[in-house]
Each structure stands twice: as C-alpha cells, then as structure tokens.
C-alpha cells in the first residue's frame, strides 16, 4: 500500500482509480474439512484473493505454509497484479494460500487438502476467470490434482485452468528454469545500460535452489564468472569462478554447496558484500537491510527472490548508485512462461523449448526497456519506474473499461 501511495503521487493517479486499487476485488475464505491419515477430521483454512482483473483473468500462485495469513495473501495478490502488468501479459493478479504444515503431512493428506480446496474455490477460478499456479510448498503434482478436481466438476478435461503442470498434462517446455532465465536477461540488459562488458564480469548468488542454480548456468553462458554462491548451510568462494554443473553435482550428493573442491568457505553475509559486478539474491526476503546495504559493492542487483531488499536498504542502494532490477521485473520470467503455457493449452499446442525461450526473451527485454524508460521519464529508481509503468497500465485499463459513470 505504501508503494501504491508513492507511485500514485508520482504518476498523478486518478483519485477514483487509486481508491479502487486500495482493496482487492474479491476475497474468498474457505474452511476445508479433511480426513487425516489417523482417521480424524482436521479443518484447514484457505484463502483466494483476487486483487484486480482489469487487464485479464486473475493469475497467481497457491502457497501451503503454517504462517499463511490473509494479509500476506492480499499483499502477494497485489504484487502479482503489478508483475503481470510490468511484463505486459494479459492477466490480473491473485494469490491463494492454505494454512497447513506440508512438511508434516503425507502425500495423500496433501492431495485431499488440495482437492477440497479446489472444490471450494471452483466457482471462482477457471481459464478465463482465475488461473492458479504453484508457489511455496506447492508444485506440479499439486497443479495436477487441481486440474483433475476442476475437470471432474466441469465434466471434461480443462488443462488451461492451471499452469505449472507437468509436461505430460500440458505443462510448458522451459517453465522449470524460466525465472532464472528472465532474471539473467534483466541482469544482461542492466549491464548494457551501465556499459559493463559481460565477458569477464563477476557475480555472486545468494541461494542455490531453482532460481539461484539456473541463474549461475545462464550467467556462465554469457561469459560471467560466478565467484561465490550460498545456500542455507553456508557460502563458498572461488577467485577463478565456479562451474555450475560441478556445484550442482556436489549439492545433489551432499545436500549443500559447502565443501565443493577448489573453493573456500566464507561467512554467509559476505556473499552480499563481495566486490562483484552482479549480485543475485535468490533466497529469502529482507536479506539486504539498512544494516548491510552500505557494504554492498555490486554494481547491479537482479532480485530473483521476492522482496530481498527492505525499503530502507533500497534508499541506501539508490544513493550508492547500485542499479537494482526490482523483483516484480527480475523474477517475472516464471509468470511469463506460465502465460505461454496457458496460450499453448487454449490453442491445444505444444511449443518447442526454443520457441518458448524466444518469446520469453522478447517479453523480458521489452519489459526491461519500458521500465528503464519510465524510470528515466520520472527521474526515479528502476523499482519506482517499474511500479509507475505497471500501475499506469492497470489504471488505464480500469479507466477504459469505464467502471463508474
């Protein structure tokens, strides 16, 4: 809401539209009675928040976590609206969540929760209404159960009702590493603006999961030397650069990047403070704060993670002329390929990975350039520029729909 306030002032947002954008369009709270493996019923609480659909069907992930709250889901639904708008895909924004502890649930308990949740929100989702996707602790298996439950209710197979499905059920090639691919495209475009040649440039990556490890692969393909990476167990450094394939192999074998031959272990916080050209935070929110932001020496930060820098850190980074590619742009590769999956499903097509990647490339470059130009126009940071662009697009759609007299 703070981001909306400051952007509204910047773009002189129509006060009526501003008022509309202060609240989600629809909030659904459901109770899910589920028979657990021990034979007793447990009632879970679930949410689906549909923030805005002026630009197209609602779109957003579903997360399973013991700490899911309605406020969090509302905030995430708002960000999804800006994210889809920033990459100019015809979607609005939504988010869902179930308060549960997936780490302590069996596969069949998770299946029953998912099927009941889907049945309870079935009237409010659908290919032209609201298209869910995976998020924290939900995956392609979860999406398959949603697809099956929704299709049973409709009486026919509706693959386009969710994205992030397995390939066998209409999932898209390239979805698996699309977030990292989009993030590295943004880092590359940022380097172009700063006139930093990528061949021989250096990078550090916090987090070596899906987004982090694939970012390492794509950076290396561009000739960038990835000097340091970290995961929840620690951080490693190599002056000559790490080989992403060897690093992944070591992590698969030992459960961590720590201990990889030819590297030295460094303190986990050091990863954010190394003298590198590109820093990719790909782990948790609030990694860069007022406490450590002034020690960041990277010239470019591409936010693969959601919210890795606090607003206070952001001000310091801006003062120190670090070019921050904000999360709503830097990690939008995932939702962009989700959109491409939906388009393939609607047309009953299956594209090659090259076709998918070519479209992703084109959309990410266009989005980066549009955000960059907007930040220049208003003389603000790239984050403020991205918000200004996305909120302007949503506002224009609302106005053109002519919702009020």
179 lines the binding site for ligand NAD (CB under 6 A): yes
- Among this protein's residues, is 25 annotated catalytic? no
Among 87, 158, 226, 305, binds ligand NAD (CB under 6 A): 305
334 lines the binding site for ligand NAD (CB under 6 A): yes
- The enclosing H or E element of 254 equals helix 244-254
Toward ligand NAD, which CB reaches closer, 196 or 257? 257
Toward ligand NAD, which CB reaches closer, 231 or 341? 231
CB of 214 to ligand NAD, least distance (A): 8
In this structure, the chain runs to a length of 405
Residues 6+ apart with CB under 8 A from 38: none
The Cα 357–Cα 133 span in angstroms is: 19
Among 78, 202, 331, 374, binds ligand NAD (CB under 6 A): 331
Toward ligand NAD, which CB reaches closer, 149 or 176? 176
303 lines the binding site for ligand NAD (CB under 6 A): no
Toward ligand NAD, which CB reaches closer, 48 or 63? 63
282 lines the binding site for ligand NAD (CB under 6 A): yes
The order of strands in the sheet holding 58-65 is: 26-35, 41-52, 93-99, 58-65, 130-134
CB of 358 to ligand NAD, least distance (A): 19
Among 265, 289, 306, 392, binds ligand NAD (CB under 6 A): 306
CB of 13 to ligand NAD, least distance (A): 26
The Cα 184–Cα 191 span in angstroms is: 10
232 lines the binding site for ligand NAD (CB under 6 A): yes
| Contact assessment for residue 280 and residue 299, using Cβ atoms and an 8 Å cutoff | no
Toward ligand NAD, which CB reaches closer, 57 or 60? 60
| Closest of 304, 383, 335 to residue 55, by C-alpha | 335
- If you search the block for the tokens 């060897």, which residue do you land on? 246
Task: Take residue 71 and report the two structure tokens written for it.
Answer: 């406020």
The Cα 91–Cα 316 span in angstroms is: 33
- Identified catalytic residue from 59, 95, 110, 165: 95
Give the bridge partners for 98, in sequence order.
46, 64
Among 208, 339, 351, 372, binds ligand NAD (CB under 6 A): 208
Report in angstroms the alpha-carbon separations of 109 from 32, 41, 69, 106. Answer: 12, 11, 21, 5
Task: Take residue 55 and report the two structure tokens written for it.
Answer: 């630009």
CB of 303 to ligand NAD, least distance (A): 9
Residues forming the active site: 95
Site residues, ligand NAD (CB under 6 A) = 179, 206-212, 230-232, 268, 282-284, 304-306, 331, 334
């Amino acid at each position: 809401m703070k981001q909306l306030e400051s952007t509204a002032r910047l773009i002189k947002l129509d006060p009526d539209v501003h008022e509309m954008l202060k609240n989600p369009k629809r909030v659904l709270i459901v109770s899910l009675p589920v028979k657990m493996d021990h034979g007793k019923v447990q009632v879970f609480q679930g949410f689906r928040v549909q923030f805005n659909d002026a630009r197209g069907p609602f779109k957003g992930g579903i997360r399973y976590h013991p700490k899911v709250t309605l406020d969090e889901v509302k905030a995430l639904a708002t960000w999804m609206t800006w994210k889809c708008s920033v990459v100019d895909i015809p979607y609005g924004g939504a988010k869902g969540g179930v308060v549960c502890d997936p780490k302590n649930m069996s596969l069949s308990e998770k299946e029953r929760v998912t099927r009941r949740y889907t049945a309870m929100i079935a009237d409010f989702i659908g290919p032209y209404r609201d298209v869910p996707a995976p998020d924290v602790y939900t995956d392609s298996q979860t999406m398959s159960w949603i697809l099956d439950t929704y299709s049973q209710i409709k009486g026919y197979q509706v693959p386009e009702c969710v994205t992030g499905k397995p390939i066998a059920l209409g999932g898209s090639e390239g979805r698996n590493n699309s977030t990292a691919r989009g993030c590295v495209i943004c880092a590359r475009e940022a380097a172009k603006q700063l006139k930093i040649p990528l061949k021989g440039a250096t990078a550090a990556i916090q987090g070596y999961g899906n987004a982090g490890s694939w970012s390492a692969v794509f950076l290396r393909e561009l000739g960038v030397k990835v000097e340091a990476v970290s995961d929840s167990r620690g951080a490693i450094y190599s002056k000559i650069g790490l080989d992403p394939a060897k690093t992944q192999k070591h992590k698969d074998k030992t459960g961590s990047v720590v201990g990889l031959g030819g590297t030295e272990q460094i303190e986990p916080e050091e990863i954010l403070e190394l003298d590198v050209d590109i820093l990719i935070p790909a782990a948790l929110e609030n990694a860069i704060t007022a406490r450590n932001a002034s020690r960041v020496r990277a010239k470019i930060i591409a936010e693969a993670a959601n919210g890795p820098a606090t607003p206070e850190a952001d001000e310091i980074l801006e003062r120190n002329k670090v070019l921050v590619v904000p999360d709503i742009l830097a990690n939008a590769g995932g939702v962009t390929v989700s959109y491409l999956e939906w388009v393939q499903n609607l047309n009953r097509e299956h594209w090659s990975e090259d076709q998918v990647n070519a479209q992703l490339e084109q959309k990410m470059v266009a989005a980066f350039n549009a955000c960059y130009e907007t930040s220049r126009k208003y003389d603000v940071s790239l984050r403020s520029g991205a918000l200004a662009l996305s909120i302007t697009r949503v506002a224009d759609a609302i106005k053109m729909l002519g919702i009020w007299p």
